[in-house]
Amino acid sequence: MTIPDTFNAADYFVDRHLREGRGAKVAIECGDEQVTYAELAERVSRAGSALRARLDVRMEERVVLLLPDGPAFLYAFFGAIKIGAVPVPVNTLWTSADVEYVLGDSRARVAIVGESLLPVIAAVPPERRPRLRHIVVVGESRDAARHTSFGALLAEGQPVVEAEATSKDDTAFWLYSSGSTGHPKGCVHLQHDMRVCATLYAENVLGMNEQDRCFSVAKLFFAYGLGNGGYCPLAVGATTILWPGAPTAANVYDVIEKHRPTLFFSVPTNYGMLLALHREQGPDFDLSSIRQGVSAGEALPAVLFERFRQRFGVEILDGIGSTEVLHIFISNRAGRVRPGSSGLLLDGYEARIVDDENQAVARGEVGNLLIRGDSTCAFYWNQHEKTNATIEGHWIRTGDKYHQDEDGYFWYAGRSDDMLKVGGIWVSPVEVENTLLEHPAVKECAVAGHPDHDRLVKPAAYVVLQPGVEGSPELAVELQQHVRSRLADYKRPRWVRFLSELPKTATGKTQRFKLRQHPHDPAQ
């Protein structure tokens, strides 16, 4: 693709549709609200111009967004980009301490906050957020004298504003990593990055087009969700279906049946939740509108793929992306899915699998995955050493262990720090977990390394059982034998511990590092 040197993402993803005659088409559905592309363009202009005129937001200045999914998120996000400012979406599940860190790290003077999330930012004392000057509230505020109304801000803005003539390599927005091992890192993304992802994945892999209706369980503040429910459908003139509430299985089914998406984006944990819920009376949930399911965030077990396809007739395309690379760069393809794999490399990206000395490994061997692509973030804000350790010229270390089969499919083998070396041989926690999930008693599980009496690392399994199933020593032995009968003996969990739930990040990824810190009784 050719991207001009002068390029503003808000002009491409929003204003362009007016020039191409899509002003009357519905861009956003959220509950009973519908927003056309013409209304979206006007409100983006109003948001950007009011931020600049009323709150003195300048080019390259950061604007923190602590917002649930909804039209206001996209007004604020693209409104800031349109004037050359830098929106910084923040995880709505974070604590006040996390938000305090981002406010300090980003040096934002303005935060746009959803009404329900005001307590999170209010819990940060003013003296610990000294640079923050304006809190703009989407919804009602109990302290209107101290807060600015987002609705009033839109009313004051100009309905038509020329997009700032930014460079394609200017900063457009930041996304913070999950911060599962310390403070989150601010990934600095450029104006052209969303265009690259929308073309290489949404258009080239999914065939996303103007007739599609997109619904993402992953929220807009995640890199995955921002593409699924934000810029990808807007790139092609499709309709995005936004849901601000909790993504429970009942809620997700309700949104699907009411809004009839054609493309459904979720994560393995949620696919498992959907499969666990059955309608008490009448026919099964109606997913017939969905032409393609998509999964990312962690590897999708083959057993979940098969069960979902068998029950609903929906094929799920599993893939891998990252906050740093912005969206999916390896994916399965429709009609060519290899269950359990992450799929094939997208055209436009390059991949290497290397050992710890940075030498290419033989095909079929597990190594460290490196990716090269034009959607990769420029650097981590205020994290020079971490930038140097992760981004090597055009290549970025994903932190994932992978192997590639003879047909080019990539197979996830765990995070670099999750891999286990047992008797000098690499063991993938994911492989053992997928095997355990095939047992009918297992609802969820995770495998982590624990030292034995000789201080040698061996696999330990943490298992959440299906409702009504009781944990017992006999069942633990049965699960060990289940793995032994299917995998090499050295991959067998030496211990099985039954838990009520697994520790997870906000995106639903299992935090194996917390299991490694878990009090452990080898007798269990």
Confidence of residue 32 (pLDDT cuts 50, 70, 90): very high
Tell me: pLDDT of 522 over 50. no
Q: Which CATH architecture has domain 420-516?
A: 2-Layer Sandwich (3.30)
CA–CA separation, 168 vs 179, rounded Å?
28
pLDDT at 204: 98
What is the model's pLDDT at position 509? 82
Q: What are phi and psi of 356, to 5 degrees?
A: -70, -15
Residue 345: HSE in the Cβ half-sphere, 13 Å Cα cutoff: 18
Cα gap 287→290, rounded to integer Å: 6
> What residues does each domain of the chain span?
9-191, 196-415, 420-516
Model pLDDT for residues 400-425, shown as the tens digit of each residue: 999 999 999 999 998 877 888 787 67
Residue 348, judged by CB atoms within 10 A of its CB (0-12, 13-18, 19+), counts as middle
Q: What class is the 9-191 domain?
A: alpha beta
Contact 438, 405 (CB under 8 A): no
Stretch 71-75: mean pLDDT: 98
Residue 28 tokens, joined: 């956003």
- Looking at residue 178, its pLDDT comes to 65
Q: Is 172's pLDDT higher than 60?
A: yes
- Sequence-distant (≥ 6) Cβ neighbours of residue 290 within 8 angstroms: 256, 261, 262, 263, 264, 312, 314
| Same-fold call for 196-415 versus 420-516 | no
Beta strands in 57-208 (DSSP E): 62-66, 86-89, 110-114, 134-138, 148-149, 171-176, 186-190
Contact 395, 372 (CB under 8 A): yes
Mean pLDDT calculated for residue range 462-476: 96
CATH superfamily of 196-415: ANL, N-terminal domain (3.40.50.12780)
